[in-house]
């Protein structure tokens, strides 16, 4: 109920949950789940998504998964960036393959325009 009614009068407002998880409420009304942790002696933040798209229960589950990675010595933020880069590379190679197949099969029909 507090998440739904949260409003920031000026600037940003943090509503703390537990274990570094908090709901960040901006002055425009945007609400996002964040997790604050330390890695390599520096404070880091990981954003789990916007409220209400990500519920409190889901945010806690995501925090717990990230904490397990962190306990294994893996920085969850770096791991997320690596996953995204791998997904983008896979999507790019798929597009390249489709484009090459199209060019091989249909390229002779294309004409140059002046």
DSSP H/E element including 68: helix 56-71
Scan for tokens 């969850």, then name that residue: 76
Joined tokens for residue 10: 């000026």
pLDDT of residue 8: 66
DSSP H/E element including 69: helix 56-71
Residue at 26 is within a domain: yes
Residue at 51 is within a domain: yes
* Alpha carbon 14 to its chain's center: 19
Domain count, the chain: 1
Answer whether residue 88 shows pLDDT above 90: no
Residue at 114 is within a domain: no
Q: Residue 95 sits in a domain of what CATH number?
A: 3.30.160.390
pLDDT mean over 6-12: 73
Calpha distance 109→44 (Å, rounded): 54
Model confidence pLDDT, tens digit, residues 11-61: 788 888 888 899 988 888 888 999 999 888 888 899 998 888 888 899 999
- pTM exceeds 0.75: no
Q: Helices 76-106 and 56-71: crossing angle, nearest 10°? A: 100
Structure-model confidence comparison of residues 16 and 113, the more confident one: 16
Structure-model confidence comparison of residues 111 and 18, the more confident one: 18
Structural domain boundaries, residue 80: 2-109
Model confidence pLDDT, tens digit, residues 59-83: 999 999 999 989 898 888 888 888 8
């Amino acid at each position: 109920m507090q998440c739904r009614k949260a409003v920031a009068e000026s600037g940003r407002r943090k509503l703390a949950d537990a274990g570094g998880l908090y709901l960040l409420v901006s002055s425009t009304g945007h609400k996002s789940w964040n997790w604050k942790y330390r890695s390599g002696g520096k404070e880091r933040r990981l954003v789990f998504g916007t409220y209400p798209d990500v519920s409190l229960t889901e945010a806690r589950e995501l925090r717990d998964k990230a904490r397990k990675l962190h306990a294994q010595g893996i920085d969850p933020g770096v791991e997320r960036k690596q996953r995204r880069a791998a997904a983008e590379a896979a999507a790019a190679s798929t597009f390249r393959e489709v484009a090459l197949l199209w060019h091989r099969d249909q390229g002779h029909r294309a004409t140059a325009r002046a």
